[in-house]
A = this chain, B = another copy of it.
Amino acid sequence: RNGGPEFRSSDGFFTFQPRGRIMLDFSSTHGSSYDERNISGTAARNLRLGADGDIGKLGYKIDVDFADNLTSVKDAWLSYSTRPFGLPITYYVGNKLKDRSIEGSGTMSRQPFMERNAVANVGAGVNGYYGLGGYVKAYGSNWHVGASITGDDIDNTGDNSDSLMYAIRATYNPIKGRQGFIHLGSWYYYEKLGKDITSINNVPRIGQNFNDNLRISSSSIADPTRDEAYGYELGGVFRNFWGFGEWTRRRIDSSSVDVVDRHASSVSAGWLITGEKPGFSSRSGVWGTTKVLSPVTSGGWGAWELAMRFDRYDFRDAPNGGTGSSNTIGLNWYLNDWSRVMLDYVDWNTNNRVGSYKGPDDGDSVGLRMQISF
Q: Which residues in A have some Cβ–Cβ distance to B below 8 Å? A: 3-9, 13-16, 18, 20, 22, 24, 26-27, 36, 39-44, 47, 49-51, 53, 55-58, 60, 62, 64, 66-73, 76-78, 93-95, 132-133, 150-152, 154-162, 209-213, 295-298, 335-336, 338-339, 370, 372, 374
Contact = CB atoms under 8 A, between A and B. Distances in A.
A296 B150 CA distance: 26
A22 B57 contact: no
Contact of A76 (B47, B64, B161): B47
Copy tally for this chain in the complex stands at 3
15 contacts: A4-B16, A5-B14, A6-B9, A20-B60, A36-B160, A41-B158, A41-B160, A42-B132, A43-B132, A43-B156, A47-B76, A69-B72, A69-B73, A71-B71, A78-B370
Contacts of A73: 44, 47, 66-67, 69
B49 A51 contact: yes
A323 B331 CA distance: 54
Given A24-B132, A70-B71, A339 B55 contact: yes
B68 A155 contact: yes
A217 to B, nearest CB: 14
A152 B39 CA distance: 13
A18 B5 CA distance: 12
Contacts of A72: 69
Given A36-B159, A43-B156, A57-B296, 5 more contacts: A3-B9, A3-B14, A24-B94, A36-B160, A47-B64
A354 to B, nearest CB: 18
A5 to B, nearest CB: 4
Contact of A55 (B16, B151, B160, B297): B297
A51 B19 CA distance: 10
Given A41-B151, A70-B71, A73-B66, A51 B18 contact: yes
Given A24-B76, A42-B150, A78-B372, A158 B210 contact: yes
Contacts of A43: 132, 154, 156, 158
A299 to B, nearest CB: 9
Contact of A44 (B4, B76, B159): B76
Contacts of A44: 73, 76, 94-95, 132, 154
Contact of A42 (B13, B51, B152): B152
Given A22-B62, A64-B49, A41 B78 contact: no
Contacts of A77: 22, 24
A156 B159 CA distance: 27
B13 A162 contact: no
Contacts of A161: 39-41
A106 to B, nearest CB: 22
B154 A68 contact: yes
B24 A297 contact: no
A49 B338 CA distance: 21
